[in-house]
Amino acid sequence: MKKDYQSSLIVGLALTLGLLIAAFFGYSAFLAWDAKDMMVSKLPSGSMEPTLLLGDYFTSTRLGNTRTAATLRRGDVVIFLWPEDTTKQFVKRLIGLPGDTIAMKDAVVTLNGRTLREPYATMTDSVDPVVDDFRWQRRFLVGQVARATSHYVASRNNWGPLLVPANRYFVLGDRRDASLDSRYFGFVPASEIVGHVRRVYFSRDTNGVIRWSRIGHLVR
């Protein structure tokens, strides 16, 4: 009787282990198929909350230069090379496409004269700082403010309208009061957008606790 119990226990453990191994390889195969030419990354900051959380690991579809313009859509969450140091990669949301006129008033984005609906965007800090980093915007101003660019003063929550040049994109973090994005460093060249974020494949909080509910989450 004891031997039968031990044998059943061993068989049960072996089956469980086999199922776990099969599930792991099955999940890995699904991720590889889902993201096609896959890249894997970890989010190092909270600038994309709540879409992506600090401690999320995610897959992304790799983009080649010839595919960028045809593949990207407004609202995509993308990986790109930071224009000020191309050895670093940033993750932001693509808001402005080439030829768009984009502005922000009281933290609300307007695109081509219309308010942009952004259910993903958050803003908790009421402070609206003015910094020298925004001076680059003067070269791309359009409309009435373009007539006297020397008097143009932009802030984090109030700027523009700006015309997005050809082969350039304007990106913003979803957490608008805690994001280093195009408001500060300018437009991102199409050639420096390297990936389209797809899915969270693993996640854990700052205490190391696994966020099981986020595993497999499709990024939108």
Q: Please check whether residue 173 is in contact with residue 183, taking contact to mean a CB–CB distance below 8 angstroms.
A: no
Nearest to 149 by CA among 130, 133, 136: 136
Nearest to 60 by CA among 201, 214, 215: 201
Q: Please check whether residue 199 is in contact with residue 31, taking contact to mean a CB–CB distance below 8 angstroms.
A: yes
Is 68 in the same domain as 173? Answer: yes
In a domain, 186, yes or no: yes
Among the options 47, 179, 182, 203, which is catalytic?
A: 47
Is 87 in the same domain as 168? Answer: yes
**What is the pLDDT at residue 27?**
46
Q: Into how many domains does the chain fold? A: 2
Neighbours of 192 (CB within 10 A): 18
**What is the pLDDT at residue 141?**
98
Helix (H) or strand (E) holding 95: strand 89-96
In a domain, 18, yes or no: yes
Is 14 in the same domain as 88? Answer: no
Helix (H, G, I), strand (E, B) or coil at 90: strand
pTM of the model: 0.83
In a domain, 220, yes or no: no
Chain segment 125-170, per-residue pLDDT in tens: 889 999 899 999 999 999 999 998 989 999 999 999 999 999 999 9
**What is the pLDDT at residue 37?**
59
Nearest to 77 by CA among 59, 64, 65: 59
Among the options 60, 92, 179, 203, which is catalytic?
A: 92
Is 44 in the same domain as 30? Answer: no
Q: Which CATH number fits the domain that encloses residue 67?
A: 2.10.109.10
Nearest to 157 by CA among 181, 182, 130: 130
**Which residues of the chain fall below pLDDT 70?**
1-39, 65-70
Annotation marks residue 47 as catalytic: yes
In a domain, 102, yes or no: yes
Q: Residue 19: which domain range? A: 1-35
